[in-house]
Structure 1
Amino acid sequence: MDTRKLEYFVEVVRAGSFTRAAERLHVAQPAISKSIQKLEDELQLILFDRSEKSVTLTPEGKVLLGHAQSILGSIEEARKEMEELRGLERGEIRIGLPSMYGSFYFPQIIKEFKKKYPSLLISVVEEGTLQVRKLIERKEVDLGIIDFDHAGPEIEVIPLLTEEMVACFPIGHPLAGRKSIPLQEMIHEPLILFKEGYFQRNLIMETSQTANIVPNITFSTNQLSLIRSLVAEGIGVTLFLRVVADSDPQLRSVSLNPPVFLHLGVGRSRNTYLSKASQIFLEFLKDRISHGFSTSASATLTTKSIPYGYPDA
């Protein structure tokens, strides 16, 4: 069913005659009559009672009028919504963020982006880098901050920065004064970790399996602030990005031996259409990369060209 025929049909009803409808639509009157005739032939129903001077709807025409108005209304809403999206008057960006990155890098990025695009909605899902990768693969988020060394072939990644992962101890801990510490040695300490799906926990578990050691995990949570507080109180030790550890005067950071670095990038599915709003946000991030957006002296901005889509380790 041609929507133009429906437009003519509704306008004839509004105008009360074929002639006035043609005048309003700036169309020749025979074209209107021919279109309505074709519509009736297609439906095999009579829509207008033409026996009177004024055009009136038949019962069948009245039923079609409700559907036609609904269809044309939906089309108009879709048109307006597409116009709004083109003009970035609305749109949602779904982003997966690890806790440590989100807490220390993202607030300023969001602040600057919202100043430029105040009408766009940003929805954040807070998970570990490994879980964020799965969210991207399942198309539950549009963009996600992940470890680009473990991106997978289905994900395109733009490198953001490289940050050191360090051991964190409370003030006065026997290991707090060390220049470096093997991760295998740290595993024997009471560990306070993020839950599954975080790079930090995965690193501990892989190292434990390799060394055939059962890790001493005493507490698990996804709350960054809670982990910091528990470590500061001497309940246990943890692994943090250096930017997190060095921002808390109650914690002491020690490099791992050998050192461990987390290479962060913004990932998107190669097989999914990226909305206009998400495209704009991605371009915004690229611009921040080119100008440097690190909030930590220890963070190294990654600008070199690398192949996208590393296989899983």
Structure 2
Amino acid sequence: MKSSKIVTPHHLIALASVASTGSLTAASAALGKTQPAVSAQLRQLSEAVGTPLMLRHRYGVRLSPAAETLLPYAQACVRALEGAEQAISRLRGLEEGKLRVLASTSVAVYMLPPVLAAFHARFPGIELQMTRHNANDAMSALERGEGDIAVVRGPASPVGALSSNFVIRILVKDETMLVVPPRHRLARRRKVRPEQLDGIEIVSREPGSATHALVERMAVRTKINFRLNNHQLKLVG
């Protein structure tokens, strides 16, 4: 059942701060907030998750397994906000200006909306413009000067092939999962070896996307043959 509680960037930032400092007291000081305020944010996040996030011990608190699962996303939220602040630090007193964000599809849909909402709340005078591309097109648009920053899942091209004008920062690491129908011969296997994928048809993102490039690189590295069925991701609404 989907939780009716709303998770905000403030909740995730509080979690990341407790994880990095090791205590509520230190996290509160680092965030410039009172301890009850930070405790309230963590309690709200715990209610949204439906399970405790902090486990107390004699020296302070430690993260629960659920909190450990959320932590990479919380840290990514912190890094994204820090990166956004650095990107606009040269603008006029952070009071006015425009920030053009180029984003790959999955990043634009799932990662950036809460980050940009928090950024806009903090810097309402900055006009935000986000344009969605696949990873290759986003990097090309950045090189043509059509954006100020690109946030992509990838990039599709090897890092060494990118322009030296780019400064690249890893915000978060994720996994690409193999999904098969319930009756597929690989469905009941907990682990799949590369050679077991030889000759199967794989539905993948279109050429130019980071996912497509990842599949192609794996095929070359493992010397197996995929039959790629390329699909362009279309969003409705």
Per the normalisation by structure 2, the TM-score is: 0.49
Instruction: State the TM-score, normalized to the length of structure 1.
Output: 0.39
Q: Which has the higher contact order (CA 8 A, sep 6+)?
A: 1
Q: Which has the larger radius of gyration?
A: 1
